[in-house]
Structure 1
Amino acid sequence: MANRTVSDAKNIHGTNPQYLLEKIIRSRIYESLYWKEDCFGLTAESLIDKADQLPCIGGQYGNQKPTEFLCLTLKLLQLQPEKEIIIDFIRNEDSKYLRALGAFYFRLIGDSLEIYKYLEPLLYDFRKLRRRLPDGAYDIIHMDEFIDSLLRDERVCDTILPRILKRQVLEDNEELEPRVSFLEDELEQEALAAAKKEKKDRSRSRSSSRVSCYRNIKTINIYFYKCIINN
Protein backbone atom coordinates (compact mmCIF):
# COMPACT_ATOMS: atom_id res chain seq x y z
CA MET A 1 0.00 0.00 0.00
CA ALA A 2 2.76 2.47 0.93
CA ASN A 3 4.26 2.27 -2.56
CA ARG A 4 1.06 2.47 -4.56
CA THR A 5 -0.22 5.49 -6.45
CA VAL A 6 -3.40 7.02 -4.99
CA SER A 7 -6.49 5.25 -6.28
CA ASP A 8 -7.99 8.29 -8.02
CA ALA A 9 -4.78 9.28 -9.82
CA LYS A 10 -4.91 10.05 -13.53
CA ASN A 11 -2.43 8.68 -16.02
CA ILE A 12 0.27 11.15 -17.02
CA HIS A 13 1.67 10.95 -20.54
CA GLY A 14 -0.31 7.73 -20.89
CA THR A 15 1.10 5.93 -17.87
CA ASN A 16 0.94 5.61 -14.09
CA PRO A 17 2.58 8.79 -12.69
CA GLN A 18 5.16 6.80 -10.69
CA TYR A 19 6.35 5.13 -13.89
CA LEU A 20 7.82 8.46 -15.00
CA LEU A 21 10.79 7.36 -12.90
CA GLU A 22 12.54 4.26 -14.19
CA LYS A 23 11.70 0.97 -12.49
CA ILE A 24 15.20 0.39 -11.13
CA ILE A 25 15.24 3.87 -9.56
CA ARG A 26 11.79 3.36 -8.05
CA SER A 27 12.97 0.10 -6.51
CA ARG A 28 15.99 1.78 -4.96
CA ILE A 29 13.80 4.55 -3.58
CA TYR A 30 11.35 2.04 -2.04
CA GLU A 31 14.28 0.31 -0.34
CA SER A 32 15.89 3.50 0.95
CA LEU A 33 15.79 4.40 4.63
CA TYR A 34 14.62 7.95 3.87
CA TRP A 35 11.60 6.65 1.97
CA LYS A 36 10.63 4.25 4.72
CA GLU A 37 11.15 6.62 7.64
CA ASP A 38 10.47 10.11 6.27
CA CYS A 39 8.11 9.66 3.33
CA PHE A 40 5.63 7.24 4.88
CA GLY A 41 2.28 8.91 5.50
CA LEU A 42 3.24 12.20 3.86
CA THR A 43 0.55 14.37 2.30
CA ALA A 44 0.97 17.16 -0.22
CA GLU A 45 0.78 19.64 2.66
CA SER A 46 3.16 17.91 5.07
CA LEU A 47 5.59 17.30 2.21
CA ILE A 48 6.25 21.07 2.11
CA ASP A 49 8.16 20.91 5.39
CA LYS A 50 10.24 17.99 4.12
CA ALA A 51 11.05 19.86 0.91
CA ASP A 52 12.06 22.92 2.91
CA GLN A 53 14.59 20.76 4.78
CA LEU A 54 16.19 19.30 1.64
CA PRO A 55 20.00 19.56 1.76
CA CYS A 56 20.47 19.39 -2.02
CA ILE A 57 19.09 18.44 -5.41
CA GLY A 58 20.31 15.46 -7.42
CA GLY A 59 19.60 11.94 -8.59
CA GLN A 60 21.62 8.96 -7.36
CA TYR A 61 24.95 8.97 -5.60
CA GLY A 62 27.50 6.65 -4.04
CA ASN A 63 26.35 3.06 -4.39
CA GLN A 64 23.38 4.24 -6.46
CA LYS A 65 21.52 5.62 -3.48
CA PRO A 66 18.62 7.95 -4.32
CA THR A 67 18.79 11.49 -2.94
CA GLU A 68 16.05 12.85 -0.71
CA PHE A 69 15.17 15.12 -3.64
CA LEU A 70 14.43 12.11 -5.85
CA CYS A 71 12.48 10.39 -3.06
CA LEU A 72 10.19 13.39 -2.61
CA THR A 73 9.71 13.58 -6.37
CA LEU A 74 8.44 10.00 -6.38
CA LYS A 75 6.20 10.80 -3.42
CA LEU A 76 4.65 13.66 -5.38
CA LEU A 77 4.11 11.34 -8.34
CA GLN A 78 2.45 8.88 -5.97
CA LEU A 79 0.20 11.50 -4.38
CA GLN A 80 -0.53 13.46 -7.58
CA PRO A 81 -1.54 16.73 -5.86
CA GLU A 82 -3.54 19.38 -7.68
CA LYS A 83 -1.51 21.44 -10.14
CA GLU A 84 -2.36 24.59 -8.22
CA ILE A 85 -0.42 23.22 -5.24
CA ILE A 86 2.65 22.59 -7.39
CA ILE A 87 2.36 26.03 -8.95
CA ASP A 88 2.43 27.43 -5.40
CA PHE A 89 5.63 25.44 -4.85
CA ILE A 90 7.11 27.00 -7.98
CA ARG A 91 6.09 30.52 -7.00
CA ASN A 92 7.40 30.14 -3.45
CA GLU A 93 10.30 32.57 -3.07
CA ASP A 94 11.17 31.67 0.52
CA SER A 95 12.29 28.06 0.03
CA LYS A 96 14.57 27.52 -2.97
CA TYR A 97 14.55 23.73 -2.61
CA LEU A 98 10.76 23.62 -2.51
CA ARG A 99 10.78 25.70 -5.69
CA ALA A 100 13.34 23.38 -7.33
CA LEU A 101 11.31 20.30 -6.35
CA GLY A 102 8.11 21.83 -7.70
CA ALA A 103 9.81 22.78 -10.96
CA PHE A 104 11.29 19.30 -11.42
CA TYR A 105 7.97 17.59 -10.71
CA PHE A 106 6.09 20.00 -12.97
CA ARG A 107 8.56 19.28 -15.78
CA LEU A 108 7.62 15.61 -15.48
CA ILE A 109 3.84 16.01 -15.47
CA GLY A 110 3.13 19.29 -17.29
CA ASP A 111 2.38 19.89 -20.96
CA SER A 112 4.73 21.95 -23.14
CA LEU A 113 2.86 25.24 -22.90
CA GLU A 114 2.46 25.02 -19.12
CA ILE A 115 6.11 24.13 -18.64
CA TYR A 116 7.36 27.20 -20.50
CA LYS A 117 4.77 29.40 -18.82
CA TYR A 118 5.65 28.47 -15.25
CA LEU A 119 9.33 27.52 -15.46
CA GLU A 120 10.75 30.29 -17.65
CA PRO A 121 10.18 33.00 -15.00
CA LEU A 122 12.54 31.02 -12.75
CA LEU A 123 15.38 31.75 -15.18
CA TYR A 124 15.62 35.06 -13.29
CA ASP A 125 16.28 33.26 -9.99
CA PHE A 126 20.06 33.16 -9.48
CA ARG A 127 20.20 31.60 -6.03
CA LYS A 128 22.70 28.83 -5.34
CA LEU A 129 21.66 25.20 -4.95
CA ARG A 130 23.77 22.33 -3.63
CA ARG A 131 23.83 19.36 -6.00
CA ARG A 132 24.77 15.82 -5.03
CA LEU A 133 27.12 14.28 -7.58
CA PRO A 134 27.26 10.57 -8.50
CA ASP A 135 30.46 10.12 -6.45
CA GLY A 136 28.71 11.50 -3.37
CA ALA A 137 30.46 14.87 -3.41
CA TYR A 138 28.63 18.18 -3.73
CA ASP A 139 28.93 21.07 -6.12
CA ILE A 140 27.07 24.35 -6.57
CA ILE A 141 24.57 25.06 -9.32
CA HIS A 142 22.35 28.12 -9.66
CA MET A 143 18.59 27.95 -9.92
CA ASP A 144 18.56 29.43 -13.43
CA GLU A 145 21.05 26.78 -14.59
CA PHE A 146 18.88 24.02 -13.13
CA ILE A 147 15.76 25.40 -14.81
CA ASP A 148 17.59 25.80 -18.12
CA SER A 149 18.61 22.14 -17.95
CA LEU A 150 14.97 21.17 -17.35
CA LEU A 151 13.98 23.05 -20.49
CA ARG A 152 16.83 21.85 -22.69
CA ASP A 153 18.23 18.52 -21.52
CA GLU A 154 16.81 15.04 -22.03
CA ARG A 155 17.95 13.71 -18.66
CA VAL A 156 18.16 15.56 -15.33
CA CYS A 157 18.75 14.08 -11.86
CA ASP A 158 19.10 10.61 -13.40
CA THR A 159 15.59 10.94 -14.80
CA ILE A 160 14.56 10.81 -18.45
CA LEU A 161 12.36 13.85 -19.01
CA PRO A 162 9.21 13.57 -21.16
CA ARG A 163 9.60 15.22 -24.55
CA ILE A 164 8.23 18.73 -24.95
CA LEU A 165 7.68 20.88 -28.02
CA LYS A 166 10.42 23.32 -28.91
CA ARG A 167 9.63 26.87 -27.92
CA GLN A 168 9.82 28.04 -31.53
CA VAL A 169 6.95 25.72 -32.46
CA LEU A 170 4.72 27.28 -29.80
CA GLU A 171 5.78 30.75 -30.96
CA ASP A 172 4.96 29.89 -34.57
CA ASN A 173 1.53 28.67 -33.42
CA GLU A 174 1.11 31.98 -31.54
CA GLU A 175 0.67 30.13 -28.26
CA LEU A 176 3.71 31.83 -26.71
CA GLU A 177 5.12 35.30 -27.08
CA PRO A 178 8.78 35.48 -28.15
CA ARG A 179 10.93 35.37 -25.04
CA VAL A 180 13.24 38.25 -24.27
CA SER A 181 16.43 36.89 -22.76
CA PHE A 182 17.77 38.28 -19.51
CA LEU A 183 20.73 39.79 -21.38
CA GLU A 184 18.48 41.50 -23.94
CA ASP A 185 16.23 42.77 -21.16
CA GLU A 186 19.26 44.05 -19.24
CA LEU A 187 20.66 45.78 -22.35
CA GLU A 188 17.28 47.34 -23.02
CA GLN A 189 17.14 48.66 -19.46
CA GLU A 190 20.67 50.04 -19.77
CA ALA A 191 19.82 51.72 -23.08
CA LEU A 192 16.70 53.24 -21.54
CA ALA A 193 18.69 54.51 -18.54
CA ALA A 194 21.34 55.99 -20.87
CA ALA A 195 18.66 57.72 -22.95
CA LYS A 196 17.10 59.22 -19.83
CA LYS A 197 20.50 60.42 -18.61
CA GLU A 198 21.28 61.97 -22.01
CA LYS A 199 17.92 63.73 -22.04
CA LYS A 200 18.52 65.00 -18.51
CA ASP A 201 22.01 66.21 -19.44
CA ARG A 202 20.66 68.05 -22.48
CA SER A 203 18.01 69.66 -20.32
CA ARG A 204 20.64 70.80 -17.83
CA SER A 205 22.82 72.06 -20.68
CA ARG A 206 19.96 74.12 -22.15
CA SER A 207 19.14 75.47 -18.71
CA SER A 208 22.78 76.37 -18.12
CA SER A 209 22.96 78.09 -21.53
CA ARG A 210 19.86 80.16 -20.75
CA VAL A 211 21.33 81.24 -17.41
CA SER A 212 24.65 82.09 -19.06
CA CYS A 213 22.88 84.08 -21.78
CA TYR A 214 20.81 85.92 -19.19
CA ARG A 215 23.95 86.81 -17.24
CA ASN A 216 25.68 88.10 -20.37
CA ILE A 217 22.72 90.31 -21.26
CA LYS A 218 22.56 91.62 -17.71
CA THR A 219 26.29 92.44 -17.80
CA ILE A 220 25.90 94.31 -21.10
CA ASN A 221 22.92 96.30 -19.77
CA ILE A 222 24.91 97.31 -16.67
CA TYR A 223 27.85 98.40 -18.85
CA PHE A 224 25.68 100.67 -21.05
CA TYR A 225 23.94 102.07 -17.97
CA LYS A 226 27.29 103.06 -16.46
CA CYS A 227 28.37 104.64 -19.75
CA ILE A 228 25.24 106.76 -19.86
CA ILE A 229 25.76 107.97 -16.25
CA ASN A 230 29.41 108.82 -16.83
CA ASN A 231 28.55 110.87 -19.90
Structure 2
Amino acid sequence: MGDRKSNKPEYHRADERRFLDERGSSGPLAPNGLNPATILEKAVRERIVDSYFYKEQCFGVNEADIVDRVVEHVDHIGGVTGTVQKPTPFLCLAFKLLQLAPNDEILEEYLQFGGEKFKYLRALAVFYIRLTRQDKDVYLKLEPFLEDRRKLRRKGRNGVSLTYVDEFVDDLLVKDRVCATSLWKMRRRDVLEDLELLEPRVSPLGSLEDLLEERDEEMKDGEGGGMGGVRVGV
Protein backbone atom coordinates (compact mmCIF):
# COMPACT_ATOMS: atom_id res chain seq x y z
CA MET A 1 0.00 0.00 0.00
CA GLY A 2 2.68 2.46 1.04
CA ASP A 3 4.67 1.67 -2.10
CA ARG A 4 1.67 1.89 -4.40
CA LYS A 5 3.42 4.15 -6.91
CA SER A 6 6.13 1.56 -7.55
CA ASN A 7 3.57 -0.69 -9.25
CA LYS A 8 2.83 1.89 -11.92
CA PRO A 9 4.56 1.71 -15.30
CA GLU A 10 7.41 4.14 -15.76
CA TYR A 11 6.35 6.98 -18.01
CA HIS A 12 8.43 9.83 -19.29
CA ARG A 13 8.12 12.57 -21.83
CA ALA A 14 8.87 10.25 -24.75
CA ASP A 15 5.81 8.14 -23.94
CA GLU A 16 3.52 11.10 -24.51
CA ARG A 17 5.29 11.96 -27.75
CA ARG A 18 5.00 8.32 -28.83
CA PHE A 19 1.26 8.43 -28.21
CA LEU A 20 0.98 11.50 -30.42
CA ASP A 21 3.26 10.12 -33.13
CA GLU A 22 2.20 6.47 -33.31
CA ARG A 23 -1.51 7.03 -32.86
CA GLY A 24 -1.35 9.41 -35.78
CA SER A 25 -0.95 6.48 -38.13
CA SER A 26 -1.90 3.35 -36.19
CA GLY A 27 -3.55 2.10 -33.02
CA PRO A 28 -7.19 1.58 -32.02
CA LEU A 29 -9.72 4.27 -32.78
CA ALA A 30 -12.28 5.70 -30.37
CA PRO A 31 -15.81 4.20 -30.52
CA ASN A 32 -16.92 7.04 -32.79
CA GLY A 33 -14.17 6.20 -35.26
CA LEU A 34 -11.89 9.14 -34.46
CA ASN A 35 -8.20 8.95 -33.65
CA PRO A 36 -7.78 9.78 -29.93
CA ALA A 37 -4.40 11.39 -30.55
CA THR A 38 -5.80 13.94 -32.98
CA ILE A 39 -9.20 14.76 -31.46
CA LEU A 40 -7.73 17.88 -29.85
CA GLU A 41 -6.20 20.40 -32.22
CA LYS A 42 -2.44 20.23 -32.77
CA ALA A 43 -1.64 23.60 -31.17
CA VAL A 44 -3.69 22.69 -28.09
CA ARG A 45 -2.05 19.27 -27.80
CA GLU A 46 1.39 20.82 -27.89
CA ARG A 47 0.50 23.37 -25.22
CA ILE A 48 -0.87 20.61 -23.01
CA VAL A 49 2.20 18.38 -23.26
CA ASP A 50 4.47 21.36 -22.58
CA SER A 51 2.43 22.66 -19.64
CA TYR A 52 3.67 22.51 -16.06
CA PHE A 53 0.48 20.87 -14.80
CA TYR A 54 0.65 18.09 -17.36
CA LYS A 55 4.30 17.37 -16.65
CA GLU A 56 3.78 17.34 -12.89
CA GLN A 57 0.37 15.69 -12.53
CA CYS A 58 -0.41 13.63 -15.64
CA PHE A 59 2.56 11.35 -16.17
CA GLY A 60 2.23 7.74 -15.05
CA VAL A 61 -1.37 8.08 -13.86
CA ASN A 62 -4.14 5.56 -14.40
CA GLU A 63 -7.92 5.80 -14.49
CA ALA A 64 -8.21 5.70 -10.70
CA ASP A 65 -5.63 8.45 -10.31
CA ILE A 66 -7.75 10.69 -12.53
CA VAL A 67 -10.33 10.89 -9.73
CA ASP A 68 -7.70 12.14 -7.27
CA ARG A 69 -6.33 14.66 -9.75
CA VAL A 70 -9.77 16.11 -10.41
CA VAL A 71 -10.67 16.39 -6.73
CA GLU A 72 -7.33 17.96 -5.83
CA HIS A 73 -6.71 20.26 -8.79
CA VAL A 74 -9.84 20.98 -10.83
CA ASP A 75 -12.07 23.82 -9.62
CA HIS A 76 -13.24 25.04 -13.03
CA ILE A 77 -13.95 23.84 -16.54
CA GLY A 78 -12.44 25.41 -19.62
CA GLY A 79 -9.98 25.06 -22.45
CA VAL A 80 -7.17 27.61 -22.53
CA THR A 81 -6.76 30.79 -20.50
CA GLY A 82 -5.01 34.12 -20.75
CA THR A 83 -3.10 35.70 -23.60
CA VAL A 84 -0.61 32.82 -23.63
CA GLN A 85 -3.49 30.34 -24.00
CA LYS A 86 -2.44 28.20 -21.04
CA PRO A 87 -4.36 24.89 -20.95
CA THR A 88 -6.53 24.33 -17.90
CA PRO A 89 -6.10 21.28 -15.65
CA PHE A 90 -9.54 20.21 -16.92
CA LEU A 91 -8.33 20.10 -20.52
CA CYS A 92 -5.03 18.45 -19.56
CA LEU A 93 -6.90 15.64 -17.82
CA ALA A 94 -9.25 15.28 -20.78
CA PHE A 95 -6.20 14.76 -22.99
CA LYS A 96 -4.89 12.18 -20.53
CA LEU A 97 -8.19 10.33 -20.76
CA LEU A 98 -7.79 10.24 -24.53
CA GLN A 99 -4.53 8.39 -23.94
CA LEU A 100 -5.93 6.07 -21.25
CA ALA A 101 -9.14 5.29 -23.18
CA PRO A 102 -11.24 4.24 -20.14
CA ASN A 103 -13.99 1.71 -20.84
CA ASP A 104 -17.70 2.34 -20.37
CA GLU A 105 -17.76 0.85 -16.87
CA ILE A 106 -15.11 3.26 -15.64
CA LEU A 107 -16.86 6.20 -17.31
CA GLU A 108 -20.09 5.21 -15.61
CA GLU A 109 -18.30 5.30 -12.25
CA TYR A 110 -17.02 8.78 -13.03
CA LEU A 111 -20.54 9.91 -13.91
CA GLN A 112 -22.18 8.46 -10.82
CA PHE A 113 -19.81 9.81 -8.17
CA GLY A 114 -21.95 12.14 -6.09
CA GLY A 115 -21.35 15.22 -4.00
CA GLU A 116 -20.06 18.68 -4.71
CA LYS A 117 -16.39 17.70 -4.87
CA PHE A 118 -17.08 15.25 -7.70
CA LYS A 119 -19.10 17.56 -9.95
CA TYR A 120 -16.00 18.38 -11.99
CA LEU A 121 -15.34 14.66 -12.41
CA ARG A 122 -18.81 14.36 -13.92
CA ALA A 123 -18.09 17.35 -16.15
CA LEU A 124 -14.84 15.77 -17.31
CA ALA A 125 -16.58 12.47 -18.04
CA VAL A 126 -19.36 14.01 -20.13
CA PHE A 127 -16.79 16.04 -22.07
CA TYR A 128 -14.74 12.92 -22.80
CA ILE A 129 -17.85 10.97 -23.81
CA ARG A 130 -18.81 13.73 -26.24
CA LEU A 131 -15.35 13.53 -27.80
CA THR A 132 -15.15 9.76 -28.22
CA ARG A 133 -18.55 8.03 -28.28
CA GLN A 134 -21.06 7.48 -31.08
CA ASP A 135 -23.84 10.04 -31.32
CA LYS A 136 -26.55 7.69 -30.05
CA ASP A 137 -24.52 6.90 -26.94
CA VAL A 138 -23.65 10.56 -26.39
CA TYR A 139 -27.35 11.44 -26.15
CA LEU A 140 -28.13 8.47 -23.92
CA LYS A 141 -25.25 9.17 -21.54
CA LEU A 142 -25.45 12.96 -21.38
CA GLU A 143 -29.17 13.76 -21.39
CA PRO A 144 -29.84 12.51 -17.83
CA PHE A 145 -27.49 15.22 -16.59
CA LEU A 146 -29.61 17.97 -18.10
CA GLU A 147 -31.28 17.77 -14.68
CA ASP A 148 -28.05 18.48 -12.76
CA ARG A 149 -28.33 22.09 -11.54
CA ARG A 150 -25.03 22.28 -9.68
CA LYS A 151 -22.86 25.32 -10.28
CA LEU A 152 -19.60 25.17 -12.20
CA ARG A 153 -16.90 27.77 -12.66
CA ARG A 154 -15.88 28.28 -16.28
CA LYS A 155 -12.51 29.80 -17.06
CA GLY A 156 -11.51 31.09 -20.49
CA ARG A 157 -9.47 33.76 -22.20
CA ASN A 158 -11.76 36.46 -20.83
CA GLY A 159 -11.68 35.35 -17.21
CA VAL A 160 -13.98 33.36 -14.94
CA SER A 161 -17.75 33.03 -15.25
CA LEU A 162 -20.47 30.94 -13.65
CA THR A 163 -22.35 28.14 -15.39
CA TYR A 164 -24.14 24.94 -14.40
CA VAL A 165 -23.69 21.25 -15.12
CA ASP A 166 -26.91 21.15 -17.17
CA GLU A 167 -25.81 24.15 -19.24
CA PHE A 168 -22.43 22.56 -19.89
CA VAL A 169 -24.11 19.33 -20.99
CA ASP A 170 -26.45 21.29 -23.26
CA ASP A 171 -23.45 23.06 -24.80
CA LEU A 172 -21.88 19.69 -25.54
CA LEU A 173 -25.05 18.54 -27.27
CA VAL A 174 -25.74 21.61 -29.41
CA LYS A 175 -22.55 23.63 -29.89
CA ASP A 176 -19.71 23.10 -32.35
CA ARG A 177 -16.91 24.20 -30.04
CA VAL A 178 -16.50 23.80 -26.27
CA CYS A 179 -13.41 24.18 -24.06
CA ALA A 180 -11.11 25.19 -26.93
CA THR A 181 -12.11 22.00 -28.73
CA SER A 182 -13.95 21.58 -32.02
CA LEU A 183 -16.60 18.91 -31.47
CA TRP A 184 -17.24 16.35 -34.17
CA LYS A 185 -20.60 16.84 -35.88
CA MET A 186 -23.24 14.49 -34.50
CA ARG A 187 -26.52 13.69 -36.16
CA ARG A 188 -29.42 15.62 -34.65
CA ARG A 189 -31.56 13.85 -32.12
CA ASP A 190 -34.68 13.92 -34.31
CA VAL A 191 -32.73 12.23 -37.11
CA LEU A 192 -31.71 9.42 -34.76
CA GLU A 193 -35.33 9.12 -33.64
CA ASP A 194 -36.48 8.82 -37.27
CA LEU A 195 -33.90 6.07 -37.75
CA GLU A 196 -35.28 4.38 -34.61
CA LEU A 197 -31.89 4.55 -32.94
CA LEU A 198 -33.31 6.64 -30.09
CA GLU A 199 -36.66 6.81 -28.36
CA PRO A 200 -38.23 10.29 -28.16
CA ARG A 201 -36.95 12.05 -25.07
CA VAL A 202 -39.55 12.78 -22.41
CA SER A 203 -38.78 15.55 -19.96
CA PRO A 204 -39.30 14.77 -16.26
CA LEU A 205 -41.93 17.54 -16.40
CA GLY A 206 -43.77 15.80 -19.23
CA SER A 207 -44.09 16.43 -22.95
CA LEU A 208 -44.32 19.96 -24.33
CA GLU A 209 -47.84 19.28 -25.60
CA ASP A 210 -49.00 18.19 -22.14
CA LEU A 211 -47.42 21.23 -20.52
CA LEU A 212 -49.11 23.62 -22.97
CA GLU A 213 -52.47 21.92 -22.55
CA GLU A 214 -52.17 22.08 -18.76
CA ARG A 215 -51.25 25.76 -18.94
CA ASP A 216 -54.26 26.54 -21.15
CA GLU A 217 -56.59 24.77 -18.71
CA GLU A 218 -55.14 26.70 -15.78
CA MET A 219 -55.62 29.98 -17.65
CA LYS A 220 -59.26 29.13 -18.40
CA ASP A 221 -59.90 28.19 -14.78
CA GLY A 222 -58.26 31.41 -13.63
CA GLU A 223 -60.37 33.52 -15.96
CA GLY A 224 -63.56 31.85 -14.77
CA GLY A 225 -62.67 32.30 -11.13
CA GLY A 226 -61.80 35.96 -11.68
CA MET A 227 -65.15 36.73 -13.34
CA GLY A 228 -67.02 34.96 -10.60
CA GLY A 229 -65.19 37.04 -8.04
CA VAL A 230 -66.27 40.26 -9.79
CA ARG A 231 -69.92 39.25 -9.79
CA VAL A 232 -69.87 38.49 -6.08
CA GLY A 233 -68.26 41.86 -5.36
CA VAL A 234 -71.02 43.69 -7.27
State the TM-score, normalizing by the size of structure 2.
0.75
Which segments of 5 or more consecutive residues in structure 1 lack a partner in the other structure? 195-231
Contact persistence 1:123–1:148 (CA under 8 A): yes
The aligned residue for residue 96 of structure 2 is: 75
Asked if 1:16 is matched to 2:38, the reply is no
Question: Aligned equivalents of 2:34 and 2:201: distance in 1?
Answer: 32
Q: Name which of 150, 160, 165 aligns with 2:172.
A: 150
CA offset at residue 81 of structure 1? 1.5
Asked if 1:28 is matched to 2:47, the reply is yes
SS at match of 2:75: coil
Which segments of 5 or more consecutive residues in structure 2 lack a partner in the other structure? 1-13, 218-234
TM alignment of 1:58-137, pairs within 5 A:
58-62=78-82, 63-94=84-115, 95-135=118-158, 137=159
Q: Name which of 169, 182, 204 aligns with 2:191.
A: 169
Contact persistence 1:128–1:143 (CA under 8 A): yes
What code does the residue aligned with 1:143 have? V
Once the two structures are superposed, residues 157-182 of structure 1 have per-residue CA deviations (whole angstroms, 9 ceiling, x without a partner) of 01011111110011112221111235
The aligned residue for residue 226 of structure 1 is: none
Question: Aligned equivalents of 1:81 and 1:9: distance in 2?
Answer: 15
Range moving further from structure 2, 178-187 or 11-20: 178-187
Once the two structures are superposed, residues 103-159 of structure 1 have per-residue CA deviations (whole angstroms, 9 ceiling, x without a partner) of 000000000110011100000001000000213x21110111000000000100010
CA offset at residue 11 of structure 1? 1.3
SS at match of 1:45: helix
The aligned residue for residue 55 of structure 1 is: 75
Contact persistence 2:193–2:199 (CA under 8 A): yes
Question: Aligned equivalents of 2:111 and 2:171: distance in 1?
Answer: 16
What code does the residue aligned with 2:29 have? N
SS at match of 2:153: strand
Contact persistence 1:90–1:118 (CA under 8 A): no
Once the two structures are superposed, residues 12-32 of structure 1 have per-residue CA deviations (whole angstroms, 9 ceiling, x without a partner) of 344430210001000000110
Contact persistence 2:70–2:120 (CA under 8 A): yes
State the TM-score, normalizing by the size of structure 1.
0.76
Question: Aligned equivalents of 1:59 and 1:52: distance in 2?
Answer: 18
What code does the residue aligned with 1:150 have? L
SS at match of 2:63: coil
Once the two structures are superposed, residues 60-102 of structure 1 have per-residue CA deviations (whole angstroms, 9 ceiling, x without a partner) of 0111000000000000001112122112212222310000000
Once the two structures are superposed, residues 26-55 of structure 1 have per-residue CA deviations (whole angstroms, 9 ceiling, x without a partner) of 000011000000111110111111122311
Contact persistence 1:9–1:80 (CA under 8 A): no
The aligned residue for residue 2 of structure 1 is: 15
Question: Aligned equivalents of 2:35 and 2:192: distance in 1?
Answer: 27
What code does the residue aligned with 2:175 have? D
